[in-house]
Structures are given as C-alpha cells and as structure tokens.
C-alpha cells in the first residue's frame, strides 16, 4: 500500500530502510565506484572533468525540454552572464571534438547541476547528480540497433554493480532486471490510448521491469509528443529513456535519458518544428551544420536515482543532500523516511 500527500509524496506503508545511515553511505560508495568503472569498460569511456558554469552567449547549456529557467548570474571580472549547467549534452560533444576522440571512443564525467524549476518529490530534486557520457560514432552506427546495443551495455553495467552491492549487503534485493524490453512511444500510445503518459510508463514497466522507451520528442498520432525533448541534442527518432520498476514506490523510475545526437539534417528539421531556427547563430549549432563536430551518442545516468533504486529507498533525499520544504521533511520523518 502507498498513499500520496499534499506535497505529492508517495509514502509506502510500513516503510523501513534496510540499511543504517552509515551503511547507506558505504553502499552509495560501492554503487558509484563500481558502476562508473563498469560503464567505462562497457562503452570505452575516459573520465574527464567538466564545467559547473558556462557562459550564456555560448548557447552550450542544455535546454532540457526547452522551458526550464536556468540559474544565471553576472560575472564581475568579465561582464558576461554565466549559467549553472542543467546538463552537459552539448558541452560533451564539443569536448570530444576538442580532445580529438575517434569513433568508438568516448568520455564520461560527474555532472552536478541545478534545475530550479524541477518539482520536489520522491524522485525529483533541485540538485541533479548524474554520470554524463558521450561517445563518437560513425555514420553507419546512426541506427536503432546500435542504440539498443548501447542500452543493453548500460543495463549490464548496472546489473553487474547490483551483484557487487548485494554481496556486500545481503539484506538488499536485486531490483534491476538485465533483460531490456524495447518499445517506441507510438507503440506505447497505441497500447494504452486511455492512460496518461506516466500511467503508460508505469503499466509497461510493471510488466517488463526494465524498459527502453524510444523516440521521445516527436509528435505522435495523438498530436503531441510523449514527453518534451530539446530539439538540438537528441535525434528524436533515435533516442529514449531507460525505465525500471520500483517496488518500494509502486511505479516506474527513469534512470537515464539518452540517444544518438542530431546530425545536420535532423538538427535543422527539429529546430524548424520547434520554431527555434534562431539557435543556428550559436557556434555549437554551426559546427553541427558544417559537420565540424563528430557524430555522437550520449546521455545522462542519474547517480542518486541509481543508488535509490539499488538501496530500495523511498525518497531520493535518502541518498543525496538537497533542499526540501519543511512540510516534506516532516511528512517523511513521520513515515520513517530520513532525509539527509
């Protein structure tokens, strides 16, 4: 049983964390240390450092679904306006070009961001921590099968990490199914025409446990996309979300948003669809248009969400430190959920 509250929390009945606070911290380290090593090995990625702030004029900050406000401030030393990153989708592709990476090679980084307009609930925090990764690919690899193969490797890295964690803490159960079920957003809409988008995700993930929902951002037969995606990083025909079923919350959890990135044709097409061709003035967009930047695949994998899933916790605030309302803290404490 679970119930929702006025603060949009899901409060599982008789919830009891399986690890102590100190054990939780050790478990988080096991997850993060092992997963990034396994991800790096599976996808052939080097770890690199990455920015927390970028200049507004660069146009390199991630626009997410295109409506979120960025945290910005003026830089006293230069007079420019800077922004705290929302993710590093564009920066990573630029970095691969600048650092001279070749097809089959890539990078990953610890990305810390602030998303001021994100709601706060069991899965959402104003503070975002994820592994952002990007890899150079060839023109022949810009296809669905290559995308699916990459998804399977990421899920394998997660499932292998889960094995290590459960060996260290036998009280924990395995929560990530290795076998991935692939489905497009249009197929999902056709399957559940009367459900909301979130209800559709829950229904398919409850059945298949680990799901890759593909082609997010493109307009469906219903006249709207399944979910919003910025037009200038993922190719909407070659992207998707990794979803896993969470028994504690009784719902699906998105662990990763990823995809093969836009080439010059899909960039212009998607910008035109969103009436955003003015973005072609930015260097990043020009470098895709003139094919200076390499073709890539990439994404972000939520660090705290992965820890939350594997540690079987009810709230993301149990595995990361962030800002929460007093009402939420009180409700959580009354229901056995201790926010860090």
Q: Locate the domains of the chain by residue range.
A: 2-334
Least confident of 11-25, 67-81, 115-129, 168-182: 67-81
pLDDT confidence bin for 191, thresholds 50/70/90: very high
Percent of the chain with pLDDT over 70: 95
| For residues 80-99, average pLDDT | 87
The catalytic residue among 241, 252, 303, 304 is 241
Per-residue model confidence (pLDDT) at position 199? 96
Q: What is the pLDDT of residue 117?
A: 74
What is the 8-class DSSP label of residue 241?
E
By mean pLDDT, which of 60-74, 82-96, 128-142, 190-204 is the weakest? 60-74
- CA distance linking residue 131 with residue 312, whole number of Å: 20
Phi-psi region of 202 (alpha: psi -120 to 50; beta: other; left: phi over 0): alpha
Segment 232-258 mean pLDDT: 96
Reply yes or no on whether 179 is catalytic.
no
Residue identified by tokens 């969103």 is 274
Model confidence at 57: pLDDT above 90: no
Cα 312 off chain centre by:
19
Is 68 one of the catalytic residues? no
Residue 339 clears pLDDT 80, i.e. is over it: yes
pTM of the predicted protein model: 0.91
Among the options 256, 257, 270, 309, which is catalytic?
257
What number is the average pLDDT over the span 199-222?
96
What would the CATH number be for the domain defined by 2-334?
Answer: 3.30.930.10
Q: How far apart are CA 152 and CA 78, in angstroms?
A: 45
pLDDT-based confidence at 62, cuts 50/70/90? Answer: low
Q: Is the distance from CB of 86 to CB of 113 less than 8 angstroms?
A: yes
Q: What is the pLDDT of residue 75?
A: 82
- Do 338 and 16 touch, CB atoms closer than 8 A? no
138 is catalytic: no
For residue 241, indicate whether it is catalytic.
Answer: yes
Helix axes 303-310, 21-43, angle to 10 degrees: 120
Is 283 a catalytic site residue?
no
DSSP 178: S
Q: Is 164 exposed, middle or buried (0-12, 13-18, 19+ CB in 10 A)?
A: middle
Q: 205: closest CA among 237, 180, 230?
A: 180
Q: Using 50, 70 and 90 to split pLDDT, how confident is the model at 63?
A: low
Query: Which of these is catalytic: 115, 261, 268, 305?
Result: 115
Residue 58 annotated as catalytic: no
pLDDT at 2: 57
Of the residues 62, 83, 132, 197, only one is catalytic, namely 62
State the pLDDT at residue 82.
84
Q: What does the mean pLDDT of the chain come to? A: 91
């Amino acid at each position: 049983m679970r119930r929702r509250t006025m603060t949009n929390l899901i409060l599982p009945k008789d919830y009891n964390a399986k690890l102590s606070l100190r054990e939780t911290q050790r478990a988080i380290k096991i997850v993060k240390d092992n997963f990034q090593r396994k991800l790096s090995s599976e996808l052939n990625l080097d770890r690199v450092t990455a920015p927390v702030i970028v200049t507004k004029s660069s146009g390199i900050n991630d626009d997410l679904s295109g409506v979120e406000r960025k945290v910005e401030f003026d830089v006293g030393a230069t007079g420019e306006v800077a922004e705290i990153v929302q993710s590093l989708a564009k920066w990573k592709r630029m970095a691969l070009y600048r650092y001279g990476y070749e097809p089959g090679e890539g990078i990953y980084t610890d990305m810390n961001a602030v998303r001021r307009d994100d709601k706060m609930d069991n899965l959402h925090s104003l503070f975002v921590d994820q592994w952002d990764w990007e890899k150079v690919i060839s023109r022949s690899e810009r296809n669905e099968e290559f995308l699916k193969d990459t998804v399977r490797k990421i899920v394998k890295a997660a499932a292998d990490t889960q094995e290590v964690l459960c060996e260290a803490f036998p009280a924990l159960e395995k929560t990530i199914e290795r076998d991935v079920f692939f489905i497009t957003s249009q197929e999902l809409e056709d399957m559940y025409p009367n459900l909301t988008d979130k209800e559709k995700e829950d229904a398919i993930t409850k059945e298949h446990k680990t799901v890759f929902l593909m082609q997010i951002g493109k307009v469906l037969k219903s006249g709207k996309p399944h979910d919003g995606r910025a037009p200038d990083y993922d190719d909407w025909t070659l992207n998707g979300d990794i979803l896993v079923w969470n028994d504690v919350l009784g719902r699906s959890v998105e662990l990763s948003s990823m995809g093969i990135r836009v080439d010059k044709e899909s960039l212009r097409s998607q910008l035109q669809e969103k009436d955003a061709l003015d973005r072609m003035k930015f260097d990043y967009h020009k470098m895709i248009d003139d094919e200076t930047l390499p073709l890539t695949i990439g994404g972000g994998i939520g660090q705290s969400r992965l820890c939350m899933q594997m540690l079987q916790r009810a709230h993301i605030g149990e595995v990361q430190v962030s800002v929460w309302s007093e009402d939420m803290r009180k409700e959580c404490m009354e229901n056995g959920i201790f926010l860090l």
